[in-house]
Amino acid sequence: MNHLLNKQSLPELLQAWRADYDVYLPQRLEGFSHFMLLGDQKIGLPDRPHNTRVPPKALFLPMTEALVKYTRFGAYKDAELKVNPRIVFAVRPCDAQAVQLLDSVFEQERYSDPYWVERVDQTITIGLGCASGCANGFCTTVGYGPFSKDGLDALLTDLGDRYLVGTLTKAGEALFEKLDLADQATAAEAFEIQHQAHESMPIAFETENLKEKLQQNFSSTYWEQISESCLGCGVCTFLCPTCFCFDLVDETQRRERVRNWDSCMFRIYSQEASGHNPRPTRVERTRQRLSHKYVYWLDQIGQIGCTGCGRCVSYCPVGLDIRAMLRQAQSLPFEVNHAS
């Protein structure tokens, strides 16, 4: 169903939802946009700056979280979890897509993660499509788009002084059912905006045979060339909406085993007790990061594990650009019929 939502009445609607839900939306803070829990504060429209610095994956996989509690006598119990029903509002389609990709990691037949599953189950996700392109995004290049609907319960299209709200699930419809329906002409106007936005996204690199090229050039000097200026700070992985690696650490003061975000760009990440490290330098670690997104995800679930949000490009302190790396990869030699 397509509804119309006046921007002026947005604060009122968000406040009304608070009766039944925790409401999260992007708000500007110290120059960056963050997903914040809505309180009584006056809110700004969630559309500037374009996207949050930390992706909303943090609402499902917190940066730090206790998983196990233990006693002095070595008894263990689950860390409890209380998640109120919640609405995450104005999630960009690249980030919603990423949460859906991560579902394939955390929700499995064997070993589902109860913390992830509970958070996802309690969440209604309202997307805000990207009518105007963002600085470094390349969603259409990797097969997604500025108005992708995956992982969303409703999707908003900015029509100037109002949004067209396309509801995609029952839960999404229930939130907006009291709003007027959009007429055909307005729906067509929104569709045109979506179409234009999709068309205006540049193709940052070719993905044809990219997987084979990266895979078959595992030992190439290409990896040295693209990783030479990397500082190994890990920001590309921390802010990546599809990166999910974590560490488990015992915090003795709190007697808790804690899950913290980790990064394959750190040396200690794969360092073994014997001293051996399969990825001892930035060369192997950069290869792991790119191969995971552009080779291994494809082998695992048939989708590229990068949604083209552009954060790794925007926030890299030395200006490394995954788009340029992958453009360079296109000139690597490869064989079409190589067993892969």
Partner 1 sequence: MPLKFRSPYTPMPMHVLHAYYESTDRSLKTLELSFDDPEDSRTFFEQFNPGQFCLLSVAGKGESALGVASAAWEGEFVRFTAQKMGTVTKALHELKAGDPIGMRGPLGNGFPLEEWKGKNLVIIGGGCAFSTLYALTKHIHHEANRAEFGKLTLIYGTRTSGLCMYKHDIASWHESEDMEIHQAIDVPEENWLHHVGYVPDVVRQVAPSPVNAVAVVCGPPIMTKFTLPALVELGFDPKAIFTSLEKRMKCGLGKCGRCNLGHKYICKDGPVFSLAELNALPADL
When binding is defined by CB under 8 A, the residue of 31, 39, 160, 278 that contacts partner 1 is 278
49 binds partner 1 (CB under 8 A): no
Residues forming beta bridges with residue 165, ordered by sequence position: 3, 156
334 binds partner 1 (CB under 8 A): no
CA distance 331 to 328: 6
75 binds partner 1 (CB under 8 A): yes
49 versus 85: smaller Cβ distance to partner 1: 85
Q: Which two tokens stand for residue 14?
A: 């968000």
77 versus 170: smaller Cβ distance to partner 1: 77
67 binds partner 1 (CB under 8 A): yes
Closest CA to 63 of 76, 71, 54: 54
3-37 burial code (b ≥16 CB/10 A, e <16): bbbeeeebeebbeebeeebbbbbbbeeeeebbbbe
Bridging pattern class, strands 154-158 and 162-167: antiparallel
77 binds partner 1 (CB under 8 A): yes
What is the secondary structure of 41-106 as a DSSP string? S----TTSSSS-SS-GGGGTS-SEEEEEEE-TTS-EEEPP-----EEEEEE-HHHHHHHHHHHHHH
286 binds partner 1 (CB under 8 A): no
228 versus 299: smaller Cβ distance to partner 1: 299
Task: Write down the H helix ranges in the chain.
Answer: 10-17, 93-106, 114-121, 170-176, 184-200, 210-216, 222-227, 235-238, 282-291, 297-301, 311-315, 322-329
32 versus 70: smaller Cβ distance to partner 1: 70
226-265 positions binding partner 1, by CB under 8 A? 244-250, 252, 255, 257, 259, 262, 264
When binding is defined by CB under 8 A, the residue of 42, 82, 170, 178 that contacts partner 1 is 82
Q: CB under 8 Å to 238, separation ≥6 — which residues?
A: 261, 263
Name the one range near partner 1 by CB under 8 A: 30-38, 74-82, 221-229, 312-320: 74-82
When binding is defined by CB under 8 A, the residue of 15, 186, 209, 270 that contacts partner 1 is 270
39 binds partner 1 (CB under 8 A): no
74 binds partner 1 (CB under 8 A): yes
Q: Which two tokens stand for residue 283?
A: 């060369």
In 10 A of CB 246, how many CB atoms? 17
When binding is defined by CB under 8 A, the residue of 21, 60, 89, 115 that contacts partner 1 is 115
Minimum distance from CB of 277 to partner 1 (Å)?
Answer: 9
Minimum distance from CB of 40 to partner 1 (Å)?
Answer: 26
Minimum distance from CB of 264 to partner 1 (Å)?
Answer: 7
Minimum distance from CB of 300 to partner 1 (Å)?
Answer: 5
Minimum distance from CB of 328 to partner 1 (Å)?
Answer: 20
46-74 burial code (b ≥16 CB/10 A, e <16): bbeebbbbbbbbbbbbeeeebbeeeeeee
What residue ranges bind partner 1 (CB under 8 A)?
67-68, 70-78, 80-82, 105-106, 108, 110-115, 117-118, 215, 218-219, 244-250, 252, 255, 257, 259, 262, 264, 269-274, 276, 278-279, 284, 288, 291-292, 295-297, 299-300, 339
